[in-house]
Structure 1
């Protein structure tokens, strides 16, 4: 009979400058030399917050004041399954210091190198990096509407949107790449991420992200871009989420949560099924399909990183 997963708490300490604290695993321990978010296993009878507070006190000498759930990452190291339960810690008393001989360093999430983190902790880093909204351009946009959409996307970025997918199937591929290149200076000035839909080579050339289709997921054997370039994936079921995890993607969209006009034949997941799939995914997952920005809180209660959308998002931007 399989052992129950080891419940491990992790605290992402976020300071006023937006930096997070990473701890280096000491020599002699499993995954020695890799970096992780501080924490440790929950003892019998402890609630997650009590366990996290105790671990942060023992490891760093700080008293936990305020924390909120961030992401739960089911993982397996060799024979042992664990549930890495990460919380965003925004208030504490005392100055963090090394009490167990571990190296410590503060860094901005976007400046941390995922390759230096323990594998299970990479999903925590991505959850810290990713925004709550993911905007996708409508599929029916025509090439003649280029200037209108350049202005509209620019306004969305200036208004605070930080991740946008250029899904423009009616455009020639080179026109989409040129459009993305023209948006890049503004996006980079505002630390916003641009992703091309399905165009891996274009993303590689431009140094931006790519969003993989479900069909691409089935044909790829490895992550298509370096860790420095974001990779998303469209998923509709547990098998596709598992394949996305094997490809080491940074996040997935899971759809349709609700009925949509664009895919009227698709059976909606509903929030209960969405939550079950998202919490087993070991990566940040966006709710997609019939979503609007006002549903963000509901989506996060169901384990989502945030909400993704097309029509409901552009009408609000």
Structure 2
């Protein structure tokens, strides 16, 4: 049995959404392949400490901020690697090439280099996932009102919509879903339908979002491009990961009108439950756009909200 080697990797980002990749040099494993910069965690180091050191040594930059993000394991021919991915949104110094054959800034939706190191490849899909999810509530505010705020939010930059309408009757829910998905797709946004895979297929959605009860009943991942799930426990998060879902939504971080009286996780509880998972996790529960920095610091991919998101794009 191969010993597990812990590696820290940095998703170094710029304000335009691009991230840095390095090409592995000749004489190393997988020469010519592209990877996220980083390196082995040495004895006595945390993965975060290792990444700060490695980025100084490899690139000559000083990390000013980093956020825990994903953890993925991969079995190479020479080692069993456990990769701790961190997002690095702020650093100082000039990026210099000390160990790689080349460095490039790339965007997840239009990668121009390859091949990617096998353990790093799945990270690219996670990077395509927008950071803010707007969850519809037309059953509460009315269909026309919801479509109006949806249009405003899409025009303002919202790029991920979950159609969640348990209060609407079936016919109205379907017509609303069709129209919401149409508008989202026209704006270049992803749209998922809550709890109904067949409705997602009929209305041309990008995927389906599974309530926790559906997640527990599944044996295989639904055959759609994007599949996520609502989770409230570590076991549910691990179930979502085992099914290779694309994301999870974890909460409630704070109290919400949707779940009155439910104990809130808080950021400490969220960070504890979401740590070390291979899929992005959104924070949900009484959140607004103002909570994004706290969410990312706790290891969240971003935030999801029923009420707190729509006004942010007005």
TM-score, structure 2 as length reference: 0.77
Inter-partner Cα distance in structure 1 for 2:15 and 2:306: 33
Consecutive unaligned residues in structure 1, runs of 5 or more: none
Q: 1:165 Cα deviation (Å)? A: 0.9
The superposition leaves residues 227-255 of structure 1 with CA deviations (integer Å, 9 ceiling, x where unpaired) of xx322210000111001001212211111
SS of 1:93's partner is: coil
Q: Distance in 1 between matches of 2:111 and 2:139?
A: 37
Counterpart position of 1:157: 154
Q: Cα gap change, 1:47/1:63 in structure 2, threshold over 3 Å: closer, same or farther?
A: farther
Alpha-carbon contact 1:72-1:83 (below 8 Å) kept:
no
How many residues are aligned here?
303
C-alpha distance after superposition, 1:234-291 (max 9, x if no partner): 0000111001001212211111122222212433223222110011333221111122
Partner residue of 1:261 out of 220, 245, 257: 257
Q: Give me the TM-score of the superposition, normalised by structure 1.
A: 0.77
SS in 2 for 1:196: strand
Separation (CA, whole Å) in 1 of partners of 2:239 and 2:261: 24
Q: Is the 8 A contact 1:8 1:41 kept in 2?
A: yes
CA pair 231-70 structure 1, distance change in 2 beyond 3 A? farther
**1:89 Cα deviation from its structure 2 partner:** 5.9
- Report the Cα offset of residue 185 of structure 1: 4.6
Preserved contact between residue 72 and residue 277 of structure 2 (Cα < 8 Å): no
1:277 maps to 273
The answer as to whether partners of 2:229 and 2:247 remain within 8 angstroms in 1 is yes
- Relative to structure 1, the CA distance from residue 49 to residue 274 in structure 2 (aligned partners, 3 Å threshold; closer, same or farther) is closer
Which segments of 5 or more consecutive residues in structure 2 lack a partner in the other structure?
none
Q: Deviation per CA, 1:32-64, whole angstroms, max 9, x where unpaired?
A: 9975323211334667677446645776xx322
Q: Tell me if structure 2 keeps the 8 A contact 1:222–1:246.
A: no
- Relative to structure 1, the CA distance from residue 34 to residue 287 in structure 2 (aligned partners, 3 Å threshold; closer, same or farther) is same
Superposed, 1:75-90 pairs within 5 Å as 75-77=72-74, 80=80, 82-88=82-88
- Alignment partner, residue 294 of structure 1: 290
**RMSD after superposition:** 3.7
Change (3 A) 1:121 1:263: same
